[in-house]
Structure 1
C-alpha cells in the first residue's frame, strides 16, 4: 500500500503543549476531506533529522510503529478526527508532533 497526501486543510490542536514528566499528552487532528481515510502521526526531534512515523489511524484501526508500541495510543477515526496520546512523558518526548490526513491507494500488480 502507498499513501497519497495532498496539501488540504488539516487542523491540529493544541498548538503548544507543556507537560510534566510522567504525565500524558493528548493531541487531536481533524479534517473534513471526503474520501480521506487515514491520519498519520509524525515526531520531529532536535536530535534526529527529518520526521519519524509514529503510527496511523486507518478508519478506526490503530497501527503503531514498533518503537512507539508501549508509548502511544491512537483513538478516533481516520475519516475525520484522531487523537494521539503519549503516556509516561520523559525528556525524550520533547519534540514537534505533526499529523497528516491521507487517502489510501491500493497498488495492484499483475503477475
Structure 2
C-alpha cells in the first residue's frame, strides 16, 4: 500500500488590485490507494478571474509540473495526457504503481497574458472586425469553473 496526498494551492499576483482571498479552490477526495487501482482527484475554484489550473506532483524532494489548462486548451508536459472532463479539473492516475506515490497539488491562477492591450484584426470583409482580446475577456467572465482531466501513466 502507498499513499497519494494532495493539497490545494493558491497562486496569485500580489500586484493585482481588487483580488480577494475569499475565493476558494477545492480538491477532493482524500484517499489511500493500493497498487493497480485508479485514482481520480477533482479540482475546481470559485474565482471567475482565474483562467488557469495547474497540476503538480511532489515525490521525495522533487516537484514536477504535470500540466495545465488555460481556458479550454490543455498544455500537458511530455508523457502526460490532458483532456476535458465535465465541470471539474480531474487528475486521473491509472494503474497505480509505487512510483505514483507523492503529494499532488492543484493550483488556480490568473494568467497575465489576458491583460494585454486590445488589438483588432480585420478579416477579408472590412465590415467584420474580430476583437480577439475582448472575446477572450468575455469568455473568462462567463466561465466560472475550469475544466480539465489528466491521465498519468
SS in 2 for 1:54: strand
Q: 1:84 to 1:32 in 2, by over 3 A?
A: same
Shift of 1:86: 1.0
Aligned 1:42-61 pairs, distance under 5 A:
42-46=56-60, 48-49=61-62, 51-61=63-73
**Which ranges in structure 2 are unaligned for 5 or more consecutive residues?**
1-10, 13-20, 117-153
How far is 1:74 from its partner? 4.7
The higher relative CO (CA closer than 8 Å, separation ≥ 6) is in 1
Report the count of equivalent residues. Answer: 97
Q: 1:53-92 alignment to 2 at 5 Å?
A: 53-66=65-78, 68-69=79-80, 73-76=82-85, 81-92=88-99
The TM-score, its normalising length taken from structure 1, stands at: 0.72
Cα RMSD between the aligned structures?
A: 2.5
Partner of 1:11: 26
Alpha-carbon spacing, 1:76–1:32, altered in 2? closer, same or farther (3 Å)? farther
> Separation in 2 of the partners of 1:39 and 1:74?
13
Larger radius of gyration: 2
Name the SS for the 1:92 alignment partner.
helix
Runs (4+) of structure 1 exceeding 3 A deviation are: 72-77
Are the aligned partners of 1:74 and 1:84 in contact in 2 as well (CA < 8 Å)?
A: no
* Structure 2 contact 38–92 (Cα < 8 Å) conserved: yes
Residue by residue over 1:52-80, the C-alpha shift from the partner in whole angstroms, topping out at 9 and shown as x without a partner, is 110112222222111x42xx545347xx7
Pick closer, same or farther for the CA change 1:57–1:44 going to 2, 3 Å: same
